[in-house]
Amino acid sequence: MSGGDKLDFEIRPNANPVAAADRTALLANPGFGRIFTDHMVTVRYAEGKGWYDARVEARAPIPMDPASAVLHYAQEIFEGLKAYHTADGGVSMFRPDANARRFNLSADRMSMPALPEAVFLDSLRELITIDRDWIPTGEDGSLYLRPFMYASEVFLGVRPAREYLYVVIASPVGAYFSGGIKPVTVWVSPDYTRAAPGGTGAAKCGGNYAASLAAQAEAIEAGCDQVVFLDAVEQKYIDELGGMNIFFVFDDGTLVTPPLTGTILPGITRESVITLARDAGHEVVERPISFDEWRAGAESGRIRETFACGTAAVITPIGEARFPSGAFTVGGGASGEVTMSLRQQLVDIQRGSAPDTHGWIHKIA
Ligand SMILES: *Cc1c(COP(=O)(O)O)cnc(C)c1O
């Protein structure tokens, strides 16, 4: 029955899947977000009816009326997580239950209906199972899963839509950094902020990304890889990158990361890093840290390492920061020891080569 916590997925296998030899060729060098599997999940929602028509079907364009609400008022949210081949020959996901919970927090902020967590988790399992042959086998490869939801109701007017479409697509991805991990250079934007108090900074919505593109373009212009956003009120404290959270490693081994005050996306990698760092005996403090403190700390050596983290790139060392009137390096511009050790621990748990003591791994098969 619709509206319940569980739905039966109707499986409609793709009648024209990519030929095995072509798939193998695509998987040899998948890049990131460029190729997609044979199937997708779709589930519909209508007010008064709840969630219905859960399907696994051939991945295909979705017909859309030009008056679909999302095209005008941007009610859209998404998630991102990965499925992997593990050391024991199985397939697993990393903390999908955390993504399910966050999806509903995002939905709530954007006045969209909650999706039962069981439906979210089942949708991922169904897609991974039918497209299992698309999971890259190399040690850096994974299947990136992209669940999203948007307002599909056909109407113009400013109110929450009454109809939604939930979709999951999957993209085989290789190493995020080809040629190994290199510290990135970040641009501290003087012109743009990402999220204001009371805004949508803690929701994973497409709109936040649309608003970050101008800052990212400014970063590229300045020869940087990524942008670091400062808080919108004082333009003084560090919030996060366009799509990654940030950590600072002090000379006494303490890690500092900005607190979740509503303007920062609550990253699942961020939370996992906090847990692993504490397990390893580090003190981790969630507190505001200003750009001036970062700069002075990097220059004096009090701050030894800085890194960014998120699902796509896991953990990325930050070697240099640039801003309109200057630049400074962190830890001599090299990848830090604590950074790389945390990265390895996280990857080992994800790949099943280190014990999963926190119950983070969800086995598919
Ligand atoms: C998704 C995202 C992150 C990272 O979250 P993870 O759950 O670790 O992947 C960080 N910042 C923003 C703005 C994001 O959208």
Ligand 1 in reach of 113 Cβ (< 6 A): no
Q: How many whole angstroms from 227 Cα to the centroid of ligand 1?
A: 14
Based on the structure, what is the number of domains in the chain?
2
pLDDT of residue 230: 97
The answer to whether residue 19 sits within a structural domain is yes
Same domain, 144 and 35: yes
User: Ligand 1, closest atom to CA 194?
Assistant: 13
The answer to whether residue 1 sits within a structural domain is no
Same domain, 51 and 155: yes
Same domain, 333 and 210: yes
Query: Is-contact 315 343, C-beta < 8 A?
Result: yes
Q: Where is the domain boundary, 173, 200, 216?
A: 173
Same domain, 162 and 221: no
Amino acid 338 reads V
Q: How do the pLDDT tens digits run along the chain, 365 residues long? A: 444 589 999 999 999 999 999 999 999 989 889 999 999 999 999 999 999 999 999 999 999 999 999 999 999 999 999 999 988 889 999 999 999 999 999 999 999 999 999 999 999 999 999 999 999 987 789 999 999 999 999 999 999 999 999 999 999 998 776 667 899 999 999 889 999 999 999 999 999 999 999 999 999 999 999 999 999 999 999 999 999 999 999 999 999 999 999 999 999 999 999 999 999 999 999 999 999 999 999 999 999 999 999 999 899 999 999 999 999 999 999 999 999 999 999 999 999 999 999 999 999 97
pLDDT of residue 3: 46
Across 63-101, b (16+ Cβ under 10 Å) vs e yields eeeeebbbeebebbbbbbbbbbbbeeeebbbbbbebbbe
Q: What is the DSSP letter of 226?
A: E
Ligand 1 in reach of 314 Cβ (< 6 A): no
Across 147-163, b (16+ Cβ under 10 Å) vs e yields bbbbbbbeeeeeeebbb
CATH at residue 130: 3.30.470.10
Same domain, 156 and 218: no
Q: Whose CA is nearest to atom 10 of ligand 1?
A: 244
Q: How many whole angstroms from 258 Cα to the centroid of ligand 1?
A: 14
Ligand 1 in reach of 27 Cβ (< 6 A): no
Sequence-ordered strand ranges (E) for the chain? 10-11, 39-46, 50-58, 76-78, 81-85, 91-94, 142-151, 163-173, 184-188, 226-230, 238-241, 245-250, 255-257, 284-286, 303-310, 314-323, 326-329, 361-363
CATH at residue 215: 3.20.10.10
Same domain, 154 and 262: no
Neighbours of 110 (CB within 10 A): 22
Alpha-carbon distances, residue 62 vs 49, 65, 68, 216, 241 (angstroms):
22, 10, 12, 29, 32
Distance, in Å, from the CA atom of 121 to the CA atom of 101, rounded to the nearest integer, reads 10
Mutate to test the pocket of ligand 1, among 204, 240, 316 (most ligand atoms within 8 A of CB): 204
The answer to whether residue 356 sits within a structural domain is no
The answer to whether residue 169 sits within a structural domain is yes
The answer to whether residue 310 sits within a structural domain is yes
Same domain, 149 and 209: no
Ligand 1 in reach of 80 Cβ (< 6 A): yes
Same domain, 216 and 126: no
Q: Where is the domain boundary, 132, 153, 173?
A: 173
pLDDT of residue 2: 44
pTM score above 0.75: yes
Q: How many whole angstroms from 311 Cα to the centroid of ligand 1?
A: 7
The answer to whether residue 362 sits within a structural domain is no
Q: How many whole angstroms from 69 Cα to the centroid of ligand 1?
A: 25
Q: How many whole angstroms from 21 Cα to the centroid of ligand 1?
A: 35
Same domain, 237 and 301: yes
Ligand 1 in reach of 258 Cβ (< 6 A): no
Instruction: Write out the residue range of the structural domain in which residue 317 sits.
Output: 184-350
Ligand 1 in reach of 185 Cβ (< 6 A): no
Tokens, residue 29: 């060098």
Q: Where is the domain boundary, 119, 149, 173?
A: 173
DSSP string, 156-191: -SSS--SEEEEEEEEEEE--SSTTS---EEEEE-SS
Neighbours of 306 (CB within 10 A): 27
Same domain, 262 and 294: yes
Amino acid 332 reads G
In the three-class reduction of DSSP (H, G, I as helix; E, B as strand; rest coil), residue 195 is classed as coil
The answer to whether residue 267 sits within a structural domain is yes
Same domain, 216 and 339: yes
Amino acid 264 reads I
Same domain, 205 and 344: yes
The answer to whether residue 355 sits within a structural domain is no
Q: Give, rounded to a whole angstrom, the gap between the first and last alpha carbons of the chain.
A: 27
User: Ligand 1, closest atom to CA 269?
Assistant: 8
